[in-house]
Amino acid sequence: MNAQREYLRRHQKLEMRKSYSIALVTLLALLTLTVAVAGVERIANKFLLFVRVAQLYKQDPPRKIMMPLQVSKKEIANTWRAPRGANRLHEGQDIFAHRGTPTYSATRGYIYNIGQNELGGQTVSVIGSGGRIYYYAHFDSYAPGIAEGDYVTPLTVLGYVGTSGNAQGTPPHLHFGVYTPTGAINPLPLLTDRAEPEKPKRKGVRG
């Protein structure tokens, strides 16, 4: 009787161990599959971006682009190629605005890169027609949910004005650069003001 009970107990233990291993193997398999699918998707997305970029190169670059901020173009003090340090020239324009001001894409295109670097801090690069790259730097934070490969328009928020990178200690501003396939160009002549956002109409006031 005792021997039989002992046998049953052992058998149960063995069964439990077996189901544990099956669960573990299943979990591992699922994990591997998830990682593999995510990897394939990432590669597919990269490929898609590559194809889109190749198409963009064939198109003419825009002659006019939108101000990335709700700031008038007149307020930009031209600092194109102003000396920065001993052996560097300013390859863009600085647009000053309150910290946290939303920064929109100046053009249509695809997000080419979202990343941190020493000078620019938190930056976003968008590639547009003509293979031009629009570079937005010194963000305090990125717009939530943006990802590399995303299609953007001048209504897409990319990030929020700040002082990251070498802008630490300066008034918050957006560093905006435009790079053609052969080098940086001055963004200022290309920029056009954004339309003022519609002000809510006051009720009951005439004239």
* Contacting range for Zn ion; rule: CB under 5 A; set: 19-27, 140-148, 172-180, 186-194: 172-180
Find the shortest distance in angstroms from Cβ 202 to Zn ion.
39
Distance CA 131, CA 74 (A): 27
Rounded to a whole number of angstroms, the minimum distance from the CB of residue 163 to Zn ion is: 12
- The stretch among 23-31, 170-178, 185-193, 194-202 that binds Zn ion (CB under 5 A) is 170-178
Number of Cβ within a 10 Å radius of residue 133: 19
Q: Which of 66, 76, 94, 190 binds Zn ion (CB under 5 A)?
A: 94
Among 107, 139, 175, 190, binds Zn ion (CB under 5 A): 175
Helix, strand, coil percent content, the chain, rounded in steps of 5: 35, 25, 40
171 token code pair = 């008034």
Measured between alpha carbons, how far is residue 164 from residues 168, 173, 175 in Å? 6, 10, 11
**Residue with smallest beta-carbon separation from Zn ion:** 175
CB atoms within 10 A of CB 167: 22
Candidates 8-16, 89-97, 140-148, 151-159 — which segment interacts with Zn ion by CB under 5 A? 89-97
3-state DSSP call for residue 117? strand
Nearest CB to Zn ion, comparing residues 94 and 150: 94
CB 105 within 8 A of CB 156: yes
CB 158 within 8 A of CB 199: no
Q: Say whether residue 150 binds Zn ion (CB under 5 A).
A: no
Which one-letter amino acid corresponds to residue 145? G
To Zn ion, the closest distance from the beta carbon of 26 in angstroms equals 54
Region near Zn ion per CB under 5 A, out of 32-40, 93-101, 112-120, 197-205 = 93-101
Nearest to Zn ion of 66, 137 (CB atom):
137
Q: Given the rule CB under 5 A, which residues bind Zn ion?
A: 94, 175
